[in-house]
Amino acid sequence: MRSRTSSVYSTLDSLMTPDVTFSELAQSDGDVSEATRTFQMDEDAFRRFYDGTARSLWAYLWRTTGDARLADDLLQEVYYRFLRSAAPPTDEKHRRNYLFRIATNLVRDARRRRAFDALDERAAVDATEVPSGEDLAARSARKIDIGRAMARLSVRERGLLWLAYANGCSHQEIAAALGLKPSSIKMLLFRARRRLAALLARGRR
């Protein structure tokens, strides 16, 4: 398990664009406001946007990668790329789709570089704290069921289902976020749904 985890993060390093080293951080500890001029958004607007999207985006990253640490790293990377993008959409809804599009591409890149081959089913249910207490037992069991079932789906299927039913996105929004044709979403979603239902039913047996 440990070796798998270390290999995940070594490949993650290669996935990310070179990050800041400690010495560079020390040098740049002063005024960085100059650098923010290249951003297409001011800090207050970013804060509002971030507060409205970060948790939902983290949940999406966590459910599509099945790795909480990878989700943490990807979250930073997604917002960094969003801020550095040349012309992000101005409309709030499109901005959100654009953010999920960046996230989807990063998850796909991580998968291509084998940062995660397949979701570890145990990791997919363990990374967040499962609440204790008898009254929460059913909720915990259901969460574990979803974690295990989602772990067996493909990245695209996870993304489709999550965006459609957890985030409540329309077919157009899903197509924009996943880079698919809007006309194919209905069919893909139907198949993914059927697969998830079958996996959940199998898990309950």
Partner 1 sequence: MIRECLHEREVVGAATSGDWPCRVEPALRAHVAACNSCSALVELATMLRDDHDALCREARVPPAAHVWRRAAIRTRVEAQRAAAQPIIVTERFAAACATGILFAAFSWVSPARVWAALATQAATRFAENCSDLTIASSAALKPALPLVIGLTACALFVPVALHFLLWDD
- Contacts with partner 1 by CB under 8 A lie at 17-20, 24-25, 28, 32-36, 38-39, 43, 46-47, 50-51, 54-56, 58-59, 62-63, 75-76, 79-80, 83-84, 128-129, 139, 142-143, 146, 161-162, 164-168, 186-187, 190, 193, 196-197, 200
Looking at the Cβ atoms of 122 and 193, the one nearer to partner 1 is: 193
Shortest CB 147 distance to partner 1, Å: 8
Q: How far is the CB of 61 from partner 1 (least distance, A)?
A: 10
Residue tagged 């990377």 (tokens): 77
What CA–CA distance (Å, rounded) separates 43 from 36?
9
| Cα distance between residue 19 and residue 114, in whole Å | 20
The C-alpha atoms of residue 27 and residue 124 are separated, in whole angstroms, by: 39
Of residues 36 and 154, the one with the C-beta less far from partner 1: 36
Min dist. Cβ of residue 46 to partner 1 (A): 6
Min separation Cβ 47 and partner 1, Å: 4
Cβ-contact 130, 143 below 8 angstroms: yes
Distance CA 171, CA 160 (A): 9
Q: Which residues contact 44 (CB under 8 A, 6 or more apart)?
A: none
Identity of the residue, 34 or 134, whose beta carbon is nearer to partner 1 in the bound complex: 34
Q: Which is nearer to partner 1, 17 or 132 (CB)?
A: 17
Residue of 111, 104, 47 lying closest to 81 (CA atoms): 104
Least distance CB 121 / partner 1 (angstroms): 15
Nearer to partner 1 among residue 114 and residue 137 (C-beta): 137
Q: How far apart are CA 12 and CA 76, in angstroms?
A: 13
| 13 CB neighbour count, 10 Å cutoff | 11
